């Protein structure tokens, strides 16, 4: 038995949800470029869950259902109030999602119908949890979700308590489309491993949030912003990046396990970053990002991934830096739950082997003689 480090190149399941073939990303056979330009996040979530794009009435039905399920139990809000104000936002989300199960009587109902309902409920409640956490830590009361509006609209509304700007809604909605699913990425794999024991959907999504949090995965979008802030100005980009590369340090938001010739989602986020910069009259973050790309691609051949330009996009939308990864979770909840449903449909316990590299033939010495 020989181990493959990081399971690189290992095909661990079949799936009909999304594919990456020759650098092209599709959800259910639809190219991400097409979806990014022509579909809303709710249409994409429907596509991931049901395998087809919705008709207008199916879409209206889903938006209505998401609205009806968006409020979170009062007990969970009470718990959020007890979280330390400076706690990590992904740790808060992970704990809060796990708590949702305590208040759902159908949490352990494994019927298909109950699991689809829970997928929709989780998708609806995650934005509410994040916005409530963000307000409570600033000493503000949570804002109740609105019915009949998109997730992008509702999230920005619940975060700020104000009717969101349409440019911001459109940008966030497109970002949600771009992040919704990505084949067998680490957090989706974590979700599938968890539910393959026939554990419940809340356990699967809680595992996934834990995996997404890390800076080698979803946490990279926040890490990109930390780096941009550390660089501080366009003039500092070149010396900063050159020093990092000379030290063989990783540049966050670059590289990918699967894409070696570039992440097809990055160009959409780059365009969004440029357009938002122009609209707000502040191009500095965009220009710094472009310069970083020029240096990292030029010297290392590494291309930006989905996390790189999302940092300047979210900052221009005035979203706090530590909510970038939770926003990724809002979007990826659709993919995680679609994968969990698919796993239940054709389940087998996921249990690979390890190549043992430890000592052999050891004998126990009585404790007094050790
Ligand atoms: C949504 C997402 O999850 S997208 C990914 C988000 N993560 C990041 O942006 C973090 C930065 N990027 C990385 O750490 C990596 O590129 C990963 C984890 C995404 C993929 O990595 P892997 O396929 O495991 O490649 P690995 O980390 O082994 O790197 C291979 C080589 O490229 C280098 N490399 C990879 N990414 C980077 C980077 N961002 N900056 C500098 N060098 C890098 C490594 O140092 C290594 O070099 P070496 O062979 O000289 O030691
Ligand atoms: O697929 C991966 O390894 C990481 C990624 O880009 C994603 O989850 O969107």
- Told to judge if 307 belongs to the known catalytic residues of this protein, a careful annotator would answer yes
Quick one: CA torsion of 125, 343, 32, 219, rounded to 10 degrees?
Answer: 60
Residue 141 burial (C-beta neighbours within 10 Å; 0-12, 13-18, 19+)? exposed
The DSSP string of 289-351 is: HHHHHHHHHHHH---B-HHHHHHHHHHHTT--GGGHHHHHHHHHHHHHHHHHHHHHHT-----
What CA–CA distance (Å, rounded) separates 176 from 318?
16
**If DSSP codes are grouped into helix, strand and coil, which group holds residue 260?**
coil
Does residue 338 contact residue 345 with C-beta atoms inside 8 Å?
A: no
DSSP state of 206: H
CA pair distance 188, 204, nearest whole angstrom:
9
Q: Mean pLDDT, consecutive 10-residue segments, the chain of 370 residues?
A: 95 98 98 98 98 98 98 98 96 98 97 98 98 97 97 98 97 98 98 98 98 98 98 98 97 97 98 97 97 98 98 98 98 99 98 97 98
- Residue-level pLDDT at 353: 97
Q: Given this model, what pLDDT does residue 189 score?
A: 98
- Which value, in Å, is the radius of gyration of the alpha carbons in the chain? 21
Give the number of the atom of ligand 1 that is nearest the alpha carbon of residue 308. Answer: 9
Contact by Cβ (8 Å): 118, 104: yes
Of 180, 255, 326, the residue with max ligand 1 atoms within 8 A of its CB, to mutate for a pocket test, comes to 255
- 24 alpha carbon – ligand 1 mean position (Å): 20
| pLDDT for position 307 | 98
Q: Please tell me the predicted confidence (pLDDT) of residue 1.
A: 85
CA distance 165 to 153: 9
CATH 1.10.580.10 fits 15-165+181-196+334-345, yes or no: yes
256, 263, 268, 339: the catalytic one is 256
Compute the distance from residue 13 Cα to the ligand 1 centre, in Å: 24
Query: For ligand 2, is residue 149 a contact (CB within 6 Å)?
Result: no
Long-range contacts formed by 6-13: CB under 8 A, 24+ apart: 6/257, 7/352, 8/257, 12/184, 12/189, 12/350, 12/352, 13/184, 13/192, 13/343, 13/350
Residue 255 CB less than 6 A away from ligand 1: yes
């Amino acid at each position: 038995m020989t181990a493959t480090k990081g399971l690189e190149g290992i095909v661990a399941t079949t799936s009909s949800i999304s594919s990456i073939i020759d650098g092209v990303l599709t959800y259910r056979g639809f190219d991400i470029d097409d979806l990014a330009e022509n579909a809303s996040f709710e249409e994409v979530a429907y596509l991931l869950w049901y395998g087809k794009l919705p008709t207008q009435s199916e879409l209206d039905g889903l938006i209505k259902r998401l609205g009806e399920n968006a409020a979170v139990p009062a007990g969970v809000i009470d718990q959020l109030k007890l979280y330390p104000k400076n706690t990590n936002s992904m740790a808060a989300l992970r704990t809060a999602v796990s708590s949702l199960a305590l208040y759902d009587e159908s949490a352990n109902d494994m019927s298909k119908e109950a699991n689809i309902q829970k997928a929709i409920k989780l998708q609806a409640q995650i934005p509410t949890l994040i916005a409530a956490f963000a307000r409570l830590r600033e000493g503000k009361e949570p804002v109740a979700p609105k019915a009949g509006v998109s997730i992008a609209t509702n999230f920005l509304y619940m975060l700020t308590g104000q009717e969101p700007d349409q440019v911001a809604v459109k940008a966030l909605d497109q970002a949600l489309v771009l992040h919704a699913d990505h084949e067998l990425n680490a957090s989706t794999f974590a979700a599938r491993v968890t539910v393959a024991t026939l554990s419940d959907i809340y356990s699967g999504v809680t595992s996934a949030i834990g995996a997404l949090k890390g800076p080698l995965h979803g946490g990279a979008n926040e890490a990109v912003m930390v780096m941009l802030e550390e660089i501080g100005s366009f003039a500092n980009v070149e010396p900063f990046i050159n020093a990092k590369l000379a030290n063989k340090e990783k540049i966050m938001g670059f590289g990918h396990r699967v894409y070696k010739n570039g992440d097809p989602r990055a160009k959409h986020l780059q365009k969004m970053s440029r357009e938002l910069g122009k609209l707000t009259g502040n191009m500095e973050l965009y220009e710094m990002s472009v310069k970083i790309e020029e240096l990292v691609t030029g010297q290392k051949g590494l291309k930006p991934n989905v996390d790189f330009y999302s940092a300047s996009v979210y900052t221009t939308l005035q979203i706090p830096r530590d909510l970038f990864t939770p926003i990724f979770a809002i979007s990826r909840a659709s993919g995680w739950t679609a994968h969990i449903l698919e796993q239940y449909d054709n389940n087998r316990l996921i249990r690979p082997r390890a190549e043992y590299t430890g000592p052999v033939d050891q004998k126990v010495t009585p404790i007094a003689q050790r």
